[in-house]
Structure 1
């Protein structure tokens, strides 16, 4: 129904069940225990991220290398190899585009939302947040992005930021998009002063609980009454809680950990489905809902729906528990999935398969350096003068000065210093193979990084790049899905803030299309029913908006420019003026839009609507001219020699016709119909011997008895006020003239 209003309540009877819907301490504890029993994947992810950051040698390995004299060496190939994928995302990054999901939806509303979404994308940091989430996605398998409203009124109202994976805990058995997840928890540490500002009603509880109840006078804690009874219960809850204290309280640093718990409650409710596909929850307090059901226009249906709620906990102490502050009824955190283990569901990505080869590369580097500087000595015992420790240090020097015992050498002593260069060459070959293997396990070929290693032609080079794209297709497709979800959440916040608020949105056509201003939520009145409604109601299209990706990177624009330039060269000359503004719009030049507008004005290029209008006018004028010529031919063929009585009838009809034509001409001037009326009047007046409306008749054009009525311009009192009357008089006069001629 057009007048049906969505109910903003949380459901019939929801207020009565508010207490039962809140999250209890036992249920919250169950969530934390489930998280504790999840697969231990976070430690592996931290190690994989360290390798990507170049931290690849721990203290134990460095100590062992120092014992045998091997110098530490690191060639961090994992980071640059994976960064090539990040560069691919930046290269192909696109803007969100709002499209109406149905043909009958208002395109103006979609254009207005598209403008507001682009503005929010740029100012909320959405692109940077998605890129950071992609970095974690392709390295360790999971990244997170938060989409919500900014609490600081001096900043942009929407906030999109990446969240570290170790802050987020979720229902392990939920779908990847968390559509059926029971809970999602974010843990974050704060100084005690921040939570006290966030929850001023619990400032005393936060102060005492965060300090371990130091300074609290327990003699004032009474169960029977008093202001401190709540503190007594809160302190007692900590004694029986099974979660360790260090997970939420740090007295040494004066910090506490807040748990931001998003959870779902399922309920059986009655819903109404409208013919246009919208679904609203039935509210018996809404008169439109009751009337629609009573009139049989809508049929109520029972359904099981989920409601999202938000609770804040500081250890066992609940600080807040309310319905979700957002209308989209989804968690405001979007996961960016890389890959998941089949048995456990643990996330992983490209870094896992690269670690072994990265360790091998580092080991080969260290060992190669050691072997190139190592010296192997074969000597007879006692052949060298001095202690062995000094000898080892001396023989390792390139300018070594070793003193031999002459007596031992005369008695057949041996002393030789050897270097095994062949073994070093083998190590170098293994190092090269490990470098190539690290790229292969990640599906990233050297050509993908811009290195023409083994290819011999451009076709082979492009083929290798395409193979890399195919091997990364799964991860990149997951990224596209997650980024679209971020855009949908951001769009829902924009719609939520725009509901019922009239706003004018200016849409810049950038010289290609005409600039326009769209007014959304504009109050209007139906002329037929008298019902007041909102024109371009943004709430009605909330469920009919899709988000699509439109590439906007510099390289993509360059490709478009090259393709457009080739098409422009090969286009026929008559089409090139039409294509030129579109070609210029792809160029990054100053004042591009002004140049496009100037070219269109000079070229007198018309829009398709204007061209169609001009064609229609030309056809209409041609048809009018053809009809007049046909009528005049008939008149000339049928005009007999008439007597005086017929001449008199013609004279009277002509006088009336001239008078009517004059009025019709004046009416045409008033209603801007001169291009159509003027040819008709001109032909008819010329047929009676008049060249112009205000000129006397031509001598000999008609019989002398014809005396045209000379009317001055703008003297007919009917013409200025009612042009239709003058036009009607002209038509009647023409009909009388035609009748007289027929007689």
Structure 2
């Protein structure tokens, strides 16, 4: 475990009295953690307290738990697993499109390597059970591991400004308590090795005069120890030799000049930054003095401050993201589904215990001389509890009727207990908004539409939980993206390979490009305007099956030719393996062509050969048409000359003239047809030569 950069001594920073004020604020906050622990214990089937267990044993009642909360909560956790979505980085302007694509690949790579899905799923479990859990997004310090880390943090380690908003955007402080072995703490803060040694000993044997000559910094730490109200046992475990470390993030408000660029960027003025100096000298930015918070980090071991530095993270937020369930309106106490389900769960356990006790309990009313021989009451009860028990009555008993010996069982009370227990079982699911159909169990609904409605109703009643989860998961993505962008901003020419949706097709994006001497860098990650959102939720398998079924029903009502047109869309809506390949082959068979980006080199060569052949055939057809035009023109000229000669020699008769006119009209019609055919072939050939001819399969 590492705690960040170790600074030997800091001036100013968070004083001890401020930490003590934070701890006092924690003490007066509403007590909710014991109920949260109890809700999680109920989920783990630890539903009987030691006091109740002792009472049941004294009464002779069975100790039974029938855990109905766990399956209902597991159903809600399964909803998160089924509807899990990846992060999508979207640009806020057209200039950031390629940067967004590159950052999107890097962010999702970081999500896979840091196992974000596991951390968020674990936090969602705490959110559902008890109302709150946390995810930490930070940098790792192991040089051999992945540079970033996303981990779930237990709710009892973190305390925060109680009056802040749920997203903690206006929280003044956040505190995490961690127990750390002494040797580990000394390695994490080597400049405070001696301080940690004395502090863990309760400053026994500390000679102020001697230490003042050796290390004057210890004198101030000793003064803090003597003036604080903290007790040593509150932050030091002598058996294990470990200390309680306080990790405190707090917002410190400052008043400093801020630059506003024409592109909409807001930067704090850094007089030592040459780029800032150039911007200020160019008068291309507006400068205003503003008041804003700066995040800082301090470490304490008991009353002793070890480190107080600016936040080591590239963002100005807490590195811990809360996953809220529900919150009380006035007290802001978090709670989950466990609070709603625990009363009914207690009812089920009590009724089950009483029901089992009543079914096994017998009341025997007898006279003292009712039993034969020397059978004692204990032996008689043992016989009653045996499957083949025999009890002999005294033939010489004083009372000869049933009043001398009778056995009573309270079966009517057992039936009432069973009825109440069933009602409590139903209440557990209803109070949580989780119905039997949602859990895949049998319900009163018979039709598929009714079952789907119950499932949808269960999802609707959990909308508050799922919305809070999506918001928290988006915050985790924003913090992780800030870490990714910070690292990429110091690296030039970062090549990112992006898959464009096809197994063998990738697109290479260069971030922070430096091509060209004297040219401005391209795709700068620090200037891009980006935001992290959750992608559209992949529909559940049942929903996709419904969509596919409806598309099939629609296609069945269409004519056969239209059914073939929709076949690829129907296959695309299913969960069939290799459905992309199936859709591709269907479209090839339908003659609608193939996307050139999806073609193999062999298919490209075949397409080029087909285009060359078609172009040659069109040229040949055009040459034949032109030859026909020439022949028809020559024949027309011949007829015209013949008509002129005949007219000069003698006048033709009516029959000859009509024949000549018919031949001329026929010739003219053929010429028009051939000329139109030639014009069409020329336009087709020209259209294909510019590369815009529609490609056929």
Indicate how the Cα distance of structure 1 residues 547 and 116 shifts in structure 2: closer, same or farther if over 3 A, else same: same
Cα contact 2:470–2:534 (8 A) shared by 1: no
Superposed, 1:186-201 pairs within 5 Å as 186-201=176-191
Structure 1, unpaired ranges of 5+: 1-17, 637-674, 680-743
2:84 matches 1:97:
no
289-298 or 307-316, which moves further after superposition?
289-298
Range that drifts further, 593-602 or 154-163: 593-602
Task: Identify the structure with bigger relative contact order (alpha carbons < 8 Å, sequence gap 6+).
Answer: 2
Aligned equivalent of 2:31: 40
1:323-374 CA distances to partner (integer Å, 9 max, x unpaired)?
Answer: 1111111101000001111121110111111111101101111111111111
Report the counterpart of residue 31 of structure 1 in structure 2.
Answer: 22
Partner of 2:460: 470
**Alignment correspondent of 2:514:** 523
Shift of 1:377: 1.3
The answer to whether structure 1 residue 302 and structure 2 residue 289 are counterparts is yes
1:532 offset after TM fit, Å?
A: 3.9
- CA 1:144–1:588 in structure 2 vs 1: closer, same or farther (change >3 Å)? farther
Which residue of 2 is the match for residue 126 of structure 1?
A: 116
CA distance in 2, matches of 1:158, 1:130: 15
| Residue 206 (structure 1) shift | 1.8
| 1:448 alignment partner, SS class | coil
Counterpart of 1:449 in 2: which secondary structure? Answer: coil
Partner Cα distance (2:88, 2:550) in 1: 22
Deviation at 1:222, TM superposition (A): 3.5
Residue equivalent to 1:605: 594
Distance of 1:583 and 1:144 partners within structure 2:
42
1:495 aligns with 2:495: no
User: Partner residue of 2:390?
Assistant: 401
For residues 678 and 224 of structure 1, do their structure 2 counterparts lie closer, same or farther at Cα, with a shift above 3 Å needed?
closer
> Which residue is 2:358 aligned to?
371
Aligned residues: 599
Shift of the alpha carbon at 1:310?
A: 1.0
| RMSD of Structure 2 on Structure 1 (CA) | 3.8
Q: Does 1:283 align with 2:273?
A: no
> Does the 8 A contact of 2:208 with 2:219 survive in 1?
no
Cα distance in 2 for partners of 1:193, 1:553 equals 51
Q: 1:143 aligns with which of 133, 155, 158?
A: 133
- The 1-side partners of 2:464 and 2:688 are apart by 70
In 2: Cα distance, 1:341 partner to 1:155 partner: 41
Asked if the contact 1:140–1:338 (Cα under 8 Å) also holds between the matched residues in 2, the reply is: yes
Shift of 1:490: 0.8
Quick one: which of 515, 519, 531 aligns to 1:545? 531
- The answer on whether the counterparts of 2:548 and 2:570 sit within 8 Å (CA) in structure 1 is no
**2:75 alignment partner in structure 1:** 84
CA distance, structure 2, for counterparts of residue 387 and residue 557 of structure 1: 68
Does the aligned pair in 2 maintain the 1:92–1:556 contact within 8 Å? no
Match of 2:171 among 181, 203, 220: 181
> 1-side partners of 2:391 and 2:688: how far apart?
122
Give 1:221 shift. Answer: 4.5
Where 1:40 maps in the other structure, the secondary structure is coil
1:430 corresponds to 2:438: no
Structure 1 distance, partners of 2:156, 2:547, is: 44
Q: Does 1:57 align with 2:43?
A: no
1:555 shift after superposition: 3.0
Contact 2:436 2:443 in 1 (8 A): yes
CA distance in 2, matches of 1:347, 1:137: 9
In structure 2, the CA distance between the partners of 1:137 and 1:572, relative to structure 1 (3 Å rule), is farther
Cα distance change of structure 1 residues 678 and 44 upon mapping to structure 2, 3 Å threshold: closer
Alignment partner, residue 659 of structure 2: none
Structure 2 length-normalised TM: 0.77
1:262 counterpart (232, 249, 254): 249
Per-residue CA shift, 1:522-555, capped at 9, x if unaligned?
1145xxxx854221111111x4333232435873
What is the TM-score normalised by the length of structure 1? 0.73
Distance 2:361 2:280 in 1: 92
* 1:355 equivalenced with 2:345 (yes/no): no
Distance 2:24 2:177 in 1: 15
State which of 101, 107, 123 in structure 2 corresponds to 1:111. Answer: 101
Match of 2:522 in 1: 535
**Structure 1 position 507 matched with structure 2 position 498:** yes
Shift of 1:158: 1.1
Partner SS for 2:345:
helix
2:196 is matched with 206
Q: What residue ranges of structure 2 are gaps of 5+ in the alignment? A: 1-9, 600-610, 634-684, 690-697
Residues 1:157 and 2:147 aligned together = yes
1:132 offset after TM fit, Å? 0.5
Q: C-alpha deviations, 1:237-287, integer Å up to 9, x for none?
A: 223211232221001111111111111101122212222221111234445
